[in-house]
Amino acid sequence: MDFRLTSDQESLVEAVDKLALQFQHKPTEFHGFALVGDELESELRQGEYFDIAQVPEFGPLTAAMAVERLARLPFTVEIALSMLVRPQLPVDLPRPLAVVENGRPGRFVGTAKTLLVIEGERISIARPSADDVESVESLFGYPMGRLKRTIDLERLSDADAYTTRKWLRVALAAEMSGLLKAAIDSTVEHLTLRKQFGRPLGTFQALRHRMAECAVLAGGVRWLMLKAAGTADDGDAALAASHAQESATRVAYEVHQMLGAMGMTLEHPLHLWTYRLKALLSELGGRGGQASAVAKLIF
């Protein structure tokens, strides 16, 4: 598959990167779990970045690249569903979007204007009011919420549900790809600056080998995600999501090990990415669900 970008796509990627640089660092006064980026949300909305997948010159591939880049930021905003899933839905729906899967709390549910309610193989759309949802406390790096009561649902057709699930997998892989890259970069910075026995930790061969393995896993997630966004193939999407969740389990463990006690404190920003990864590990049926989809759609 040819991943060379057109001039229009290159310009869009450069614009996203320029925007992201403004939000690259965690505020020094923040020591919580979910760093919500209201200013980032405003910039993306004003620049109409949430609609780039619907522009023929850009399409889902460019949107997936934007999601991956923005997911590297310490700030969290509902990006992936709006950029990659919302354009594929049969009706135009207000954002932000959130997923409620089998009644569990979910990311951004407390502030969502549109809910995708997953019950087994069925997917329905709901338009909650402020009284229908509430925020819940969580250790995850996202603002979590839940449905407080039963609300009206508009069930998608089997065909639309099938398409929606595919793009949910692409969105999952795109977001996890960015989070993996950011977690690894943060760890590499620590290993470069932190010294032990008079030399940087990053010069020890055993640590370098482990970080190299993490980088290979993260690179595989990115390329599988880009392929899925480019081909819009069901099997590619399932494989990308499966590899993302499998890799995140390994990488999150490794990077926290590399930082030792610092990896478990709120002063260091690592948790802003790894705790978001942990939230994504159980989505769409988790690793078991993705493995079953890969077996069904590819093999």
Kindly report, residue by residue over 23-32, the tens digit of the pLDDT. 999 998 898 8
Which pLDDT does position 173 carry in this prediction? 98
* 7-25 per-position pLDDT tens digit: 999 999 999 999 999 999 9
Which pLDDT does position 21 carry in this prediction? 96
* 114-137 per-position pLDDT tens digit: 999 999 999 999 999 999 999 999
Q: Kindly list the domain boundaries of the chain, sorted by start residue.
A: 159-297
- Mean pLDDT, the chain, rounded, equals 93
Q: Dihedrals φ, ψ of 99, to 5°?
A: -110, 130
What residue ranges of the chain have pLDDT lower than 50? none
Domain 159-297 has CATH 1.20.140.10: yes
Under a CB-based contact definition with an 8 Å cutoff, are residues 182 and 26 in contact? no
Which pLDDT does position 224 carry in this prediction? 97
Which pLDDT does position 1 carry in this prediction? 65
Which pLDDT does position 203 carry in this prediction? 74
CA 202 to chain centre: 28
Distances (CA, A) of 20 to 25, 43, 76, 158: 10, 10, 12, 37
